[in-house]
Amino acid sequence: MLSKASGEKAEIVVDLEAIIGPMPRPWRNLAQGGEEAGNMLGDVVEETKALRPEYIRLDHIYDMYEVVNQDGGGLRYDWSRLDEIVRSILETGAKPFLALSYMPPVISKGDIVDQPRSWGDWEELVKATIEHYSGREGLNIDGVYYEVWNEPDLFGGWKVYGEKNYLNLYAAAARGAARAGNVNSFKLGGPATTALYKNWVDQFLDYVVENNLRLDFYSWHRYSRDLEQYEKDVAEIDAWLESHPEKIDLELIVSEWGHDSENDSGYDNGFGAIHTIAASRVMMGRVNRAFVFEIKDGPGVEQYWGRWGLLTHEKYGEVAKKPRYNALVYLNTLGDERVSLDGEGSWVKGIAARKEGVYQVLLVNYDPRGSHNELVPITFDNLPGGEFVYKRSDWGGGVKTVSVATTSAQWKTEEPMRPNSVVMLTLEF
């Protein structure tokens, strides 16, 4: 991989005749963290629905929603508070992706990131969860994802060996999932580590194969400003899966992502938006789903406090849409047919699409240093006609329109791009 200091400039080539399939949209997956107890999505259903999410991920489902208690030595469940936010997810048009975390105090050895006193209790809890949300006599939702824990390497210091072993946690969850009866189709996986680690991949996959455990997806988190890190992740896990042929077609999920795992001003300004567009491009077609973290800020000391949300908290009045929210709206304007685009560089990435007969080319010049300008040569091959209107629309405003007439099947132009900018080019014949 080239460093940014010695990277390659883009030379974009778009083949308008080459429709390469449906548009991958990994960004249509959102996450909400455990910022506060209760239904954080209840007041922002319409704003969330406008992003057209396919799945919404929740963590802290056991410790924040008081799901389980003990009654006479057995477990007693109260799904009412968790059902409220799950119903809000369904109102947005999405389905739930539930991170099975953290350990309910009534069954934990210690705190909420500890092991259970009895693995049988954890197994029963997972079984009951799946029967409630995927069960035909429960909420009857088809296609729910269940992810075993959230950042186990951080929250609880779990490892894939030793006494506090994530493999035991997963195995008991998988046994519970296998015992769930009268349920719709669902998916089970993990481990949702803070990053992608080879030892976790190898030992986890070896374990589930050796023990014949169900594993439908492998998940991890990625917080980085560096696009090369996102590219490295997918290249590495593809290579590592070669050593696990039984799981070569495993679904790959980045179940949280952003440019910084800590509070950062970029989440409140345009930098976060440009990063969101650029990282989405890098992951599309490489991972099955990538969950933008997160939908709404927690209640901070002021409206804008560098929190991860796409939306501000209602504590300060009307909920505000941050630039990252608008970036997802922008990505959703791309057509459903993906068109061949080659020649991306180290800074400038692109997506080409066809939408109702109009060709679109989204270009993003992402530079975390904020200094790289580029004059991008663009070639359009296999023009379907000799006359068309060419338009450049800049993110944030500014439109340039040119009428073109040519007898050639190819047309070339150049477009200047400032650091951390996005443009949409369209050709209408």
3-state SS, the chain, equals CCCHHHCCCCCEEEEEEEEEEECCCCCCEEEECCCCCCCCCHHHHHHHHCCCCCEEEECCCCCCCCCEEEECCEEEECCHHHHHHHHHHHHCCCEEEEEECCCCCCCECCCCCCCECCHHHHHHHHHHHHHHHCECCCCCCCCEEEEECCCCCCCCCCECCCCCEHHHHHHHHHHHHHHCCCECCEEEEEEEECCCCHHHHHHHHHHHHHCCCCCCEEEEEEECCCHHHHHHHHHHHHHHHCCCHHHCCCEEEEEEEECCCCCCHHHCCHHHHHHHHHHHHHHECCECEEEEECCECCCCCCCCCCCCCCECCHHHCCCCECHHHHHHHHHCCCCCEEEEEECCCCCEEEEEEEECCEEEEEEEECCCCCCCCEEEEEEEECCCCCEEEEEEEECCCCEEEEEEECCCCEEEEEEEECCCEEEEEEEEC
- Identify which of 256, 152, 260 has the alpha carbon closest to the alpha carbon of residue 200: 152
Residues 44 and 129 in one domain: yes
If you average pLDDT over residues 121-133, what whole number do you get? 98
If you average pLDDT over residues 131-156, what whole number do you get?
Answer: 98
Average pLDDT of the chain is 97
Domain end, chosen from 316, 331, 346, is at 331
Length of the chain: 429
Q: How confident is the model at residue 71 (pLDDT cuts 50, 70, 90)?
A: confident
Give the Cα separation of 99 and 31 in Å (integer).
10
Where among 331, 356, 371 does a domain terminate?
Answer: 331
Q: Are residues 71 and 17 in the same domain?
A: no
Work out the pLDDT band at 5, boundaries 50, 70, 90: low
User: Looking at the structure, do residues 129 and 141 belong to the same domain, yes or no?
Assistant: yes
Does residue 380 or residue 73 have the better pLDDT?
A: 380
- Mean pLDDT throughout 162-167? 97
What is residue 2's predicted lDDT score, i.e. its pLDDT? Answer: 43
> Does residue 225 surpass a pLDDT of 60?
yes
State whether 312 and 175 are in the same domain.
Answer: yes
Could you say which of 296, 331, 366 is where a domain stops? 331
Query: Tell me, what's the pLDDT at 1?
Result: 41
The pLDDT tens digits of the residues spanning 16-33 come to 999 999 999 999 999 999
387 pLDDT exceeds 60? yes
How confident is the model at residue 105, as a pLDDT? Answer: 93
- What CATH number did the domain enclosing 93 receive? 3.20.20.80
- Could you list the residue range(s) of the whole structural domain that residue 371 is in? 4-21+337-428
Within this chain, do residues 293 and 355 fall inside the same structural domain, yes or no? Answer: no
On whether the CB atoms of residues 21 and 352 are closer than 8 A, the answer is no
Same domain, 251 and 218: yes
Residue 70: per-residue pLDDT = 86
Same domain for 39 and 154, yes or no, is yes
Co-location of 176 and 41 in the same domain: yes
Q: In the prediction, which pLDDT does 3 show?
A: 46
Q: Band of the pLDDT at 179, cuts 50, 70, 90?
A: very high
Give the mean model confidence (pLDDT) for residues 233-244: 97
Same domain, 256 and 386: no
Report the CATH number at residue 373: 2.60.40.1500
Residues 356 and 262 in one domain: no
Residue 394, pLDDT > 50, answer: yes
* Domains in the chain, number: 2
Please tell me whether residues 315 and 353 are part of one structural domain: no
Given a cut of 90, whether residue 144 has pLDDT beyond it is yes
Q: What is the pLDDT of residue 74?
A: 86
**pLDDT tens digits for 286-320?**
999 999 999 999 999 999 999 999 999 999 999 99
- At 73 the pLDDT is 74
Give yes or no: residues 292 and 394 share one domain.
no
pLDDT for residue 193 is more than 60: yes
